[in-house]
Structure 1
Amino acid sequence: MMHLDTGKTYRLRICNVGISTSLNFRIASHKLTVVETEGSHTKQNSYENLDIHVGQCYSVLVTCNQPSADYYMVASTRFTTPVLNGIGVVHYSNSGTKVSGPLPPGPTVEIGYSLNQFRTITWNLTANAARPNPQGSFHYGMINVTETAVLEGASTAINGKQRYAVNSISYVNPDTPLKLADYFNIGGVFSMNFPRNPSGGSAFLGVFVLNTVYRGFLELVFQNDENIVQSWHIDGYTAFIVGANGGKWTSASRKEYNLLDAVARSTLQVYPQSWTAVLMELDNVGMWNLRSQIWERQYLGEQLYFKVPNPDGSFRNEADIPPNALRCGRAIGH
């Protein structure tokens, strides 16, 4: 039970910390005004309910402007059969009325509802917050894309066992951490030629790294030909979620991109039989993980690393390895 005072407005931070299922959050008779997601201040649109996919977080404002009573608060699973409900109660401090009646209804099971809501969550271009410049001062839509990669995550079987893969490569943990292998130039740990497009071939186990260019501007397209909602996380970066739609992504899909006020975040969903496209400036040197947020898929290979190289070895771009760093695997003795 959550105790609230009549007439006050509260900020709620709502996160989906599950490992497999999208959620829908709602409070009976109350609007949810979205103000932030993963560090980005959003346009303050109000919703009856809010879809939150695996790994995502939102800040919403809720105003206690209803008659003094108790109200259902519900988090229900999305796109599942059956629908499972987690139920709480919002209790107005001067309420003498117990919660009763049916739960507030959730949205339809149609993907279109969630996709349309997703498109309305955009950047607030006048928000300053704890930064020297307004969010809108970075005109990402005016930057030329220097490289593109299309990533297709899929369920597969390798040697008769369940695996998941990206562009037909199912990631396996190497005997030496990738960053150590890269720093000490240890060969045989990983390959740098991760394919930039789906191959359509049979999946196989491997350790492949997507090589990029420092200060480049990367277009990443996530293609989902499955019948589930996929969720992805990008370490070390936030990316502008510029587009999403059904079907196969093509170069013509760029005409649909939001090049003005797309929200910047590190976690994104890809709807069934659909694509999602992001743009990101490669200004953070390192070896970064890009992975499925759905734990089973991540554990069984649906992840990869991308390298943003330090162009001149300067400590200005990347700090040196700490003297107490653990050297394991083939890095022992270096």
Structure 2
Amino acid sequence: MACPAAALLLPLLLGFLAPARATDPYAFFDWDVSYVTRSPLGVPQKVIAINKEFPGPVVNVTTNYNVAVNVLNSLDEPLLITWDGIQQRKNCWQDGVLGTNCPIPPGWNWTYNFQVKDQIGSFFYFPPLSMQRAAGGFGGITVNNRAVISVPFDTPDGDIRLFIGDWYKKNHTDLRKMLDDGKELGMPDGVLMNGKGPYRYNDSLVPAGIEYETIDVEPGKTYRFRVHNVGISTSLNLRIQGHNMAMVETEGSYTMKQNFTNLDIHVGQSYSFLVTMDQNASSDYYIVASARFVNESLWTRVTGVAILHYSNSKGKASGPLPDPPNDEYDKTFSMNQARSIRMNVTTGAARPNPQGSFHYGQINVTQVYKLRNMPPVTINGKKRTTLNGISYSPPATPLRLADLYDKKEVYTLDFPTMPSDGPPVIGSSVINSTYKNFMEIVFQNNDTKVQTYHIDGYAFWVVGNGLR
């Protein structure tokens, strides 16, 4: 789960692979990851597709399913796939990041095996290496409830996946070189919605001939929208012209049902909304995702626009785009939105017992870490980001292999519990913790930009946030 900087309680679930239950079903997938040529913003470029699909196919499974994904790397560089939000209980070496896996060499294949144990909800996968996410390679993960578990809302009439994210016309290799040369990426060239560019709502801002996303709906029906910000750096505000969005779930937890006319969705976040088609069905409506915390007069082009099309619509979407929050650099509105989201503690999720049956006040916290991120600094001639003064460098041997074979020289267990005022350094420093203990982490954002954090394989609970 990704979230803005906050204080968290984190259960430490480290350990060894647990055998899957023989009674739990299996789902098998074969993927060929390759380049295809697409022009989402009107310029041909290399895009990473899965089985020629961009975005990639949805992994649609049910709680406790065992999942096997055979990945063939048809790119010209190493590849990993990580499963954002899947907890990988006692199975961390299937997580698909450099800390736990060796990359898949070009022309090779690798099969990921994991179980979606005691999970439900909306997630996504993506390639975490070498800026490849900026070229695509992402897709959705849906973990459905078992039939014996009730859901805290009526069954929707349909399920709609919506990927939103910033996008550059440059290939990911060019973007990577810019960062390696110490340059900023600058303003994105646009926002894609389901891998497509914006509807031509403005002739001067959107060139002719761009393919845009159309979502077909029936009047009077209610649909579940699963929305993911799969971009690389831009927080986006989502709104659907004339329609309310009733939030019901975020990344594996049911929320108290709450209506929004717009919502800030930060990089890496996933939300589920129920949207009822209760407007005049004679015309189409805009779906908009625009950049947040920027000078909107300069960032006008960084706007994704799709079309919500009623089946009996006779007219195009019209009028101006629905307005975003009018606060530009003031993050108060966004923070208050985030604070308003509450877990539904009376309903079950993957299990029949209520989500609120765990007594957080009885947690015995055994470790506390304060993690401070800073603006990028120059180390050895390159711009790098740091946490507590350390810029992580992945070792040649994945950490789990080094741990298994007792290769102590590969990494150090001395990650500082508090920020350091010394000069920034590069290192492979690891937090040393104990299985089944609870840790409190305080994220302190000393950068000028919104930061989002994802903790692979873990569930956590926000216990506080605000200005320092």
TM-score by structure 2 length? 0.52
Q: Does 1:73 align with 2:291?
A: no
Where does 1:161-240 land on structure 2 (aligned, <5 Å)?
Answer: 161-240=382-461
> What one-letter code is carried by the residue in structure 2 that aligns with 1:189?
V
TM-score by structure 1 length? 0.72
**1:316 equivalent in structure 2:** none
Instruction: Work out which of the residue numbers 38, 45, 55 in structure 1 matches 2:258.
Output: 45
Gaps of 5+ in 2: 1-213
Give aligned pairs, total: 247
Residue 335 of structure 2 aligns to a residue whose secondary structure is helix
Residue 337 of structure 2 aligns to a residue whose secondary structure is helix
- 1: CA distance, partners of 2:237 / 2:401: 41
Q: CA deviation at 1:191?
A: 0.6
Q: CA deviation at 1:87?
A: 0.5
Q: Does 1:6 align with 2:219?
A: yes
Residue 72 of structure 1 aligns to a residue whose secondary structure is strand
Where does 1:1-334 land on structure 2 (aligned, <5 Å)?
Answer: 1-68=214-281, 69-81=283-295, 82-83=298-299, 84-108=302-326, 109=328, 110-154=330-374, 155-246=376-467, 248=468
- 1: CA distance, partners of 2:339 / 2:361: 17
Give CA-to-partner distance per residue, 1:207-231, whole Å, 9 cap, x none.
Answer: 1011112221111010001110001
Residue 193 of structure 1 aligns to a residue whose secondary structure is coil
Contact 2:253 2:349 (C-alpha < 8 Å) held by counterparts: no
- 2: CA distance, partners of 1:200 / 1:25: 39
**1:285 equivalent in structure 2:** none
- 2: CA distance, partners of 1:169 / 1:19: 22
Q: CA deviation at 1:20?
A: 1.0
Give CA-to-partner distance per residue, 1:50-98, whole Å, 9 cap, x none.
Answer: 1111111101010111112211110111113333210011112122232
> What one-letter code is carried by the residue in structure 2 that aligns with 1:100?
S
Residue 385 of structure 2 aligns to a residue whose secondary structure is strand
**2:191 equivalent in structure 1:** none
Q: CA deviation at 1:132?
A: 3.3
> What one-letter code is carried by the residue in structure 1 that aligns with 2:372?
E
- 2: CA distance, partners of 1:171 / 1:22: 24
Name which structure has the greater RCO, CA cutoff 8 Å, separation 6+. Answer: 2
- 1: CA distance, partners of 2:460 / 2:346: 19
Give CA-to-partner distance per residue, 1:112-146, whole Å, 9 cap, x none.
Answer: 00000000111001121331311011122331322
> What one-letter code is carried by the residue in structure 2 that aligns with 1:111?
K
> What one-letter code is carried by the residue in structure 2 that aligns with 1:161?
K
**1:308 equivalent in structure 2:** none
Residue 417 of structure 2 aligns to a residue whose secondary structure is coil
> What one-letter code is carried by the residue in structure 2 that aligns with 1:90?
L
Give CA-to-partner distance per residue, 1:23-74, whole Å, 9 cap, x none.
Answer: 1110011111111111111111111101111111101010111112211110
- 1: CA distance, partners of 2:383 / 2:366: 36
Gaps of 5+ in 1: 249-334
Higher deviation after alignment, 123-132 or 169-178:
123-132
**2:95 equivalent in structure 1:** none
Give CA-to-partner distance per residue, 1:297-328, whole Å, 9 cap, x none.
Answer: xxxxxxxxxxxxxxxxxxxxxxxxxxxxxxxx
> What one-letter code is carried by the residue in structure 2 that aligns with 1:75?
A
When the two chains are superposed, the root-mean-square deviation of aligned CA atoms in Å is: 1.2
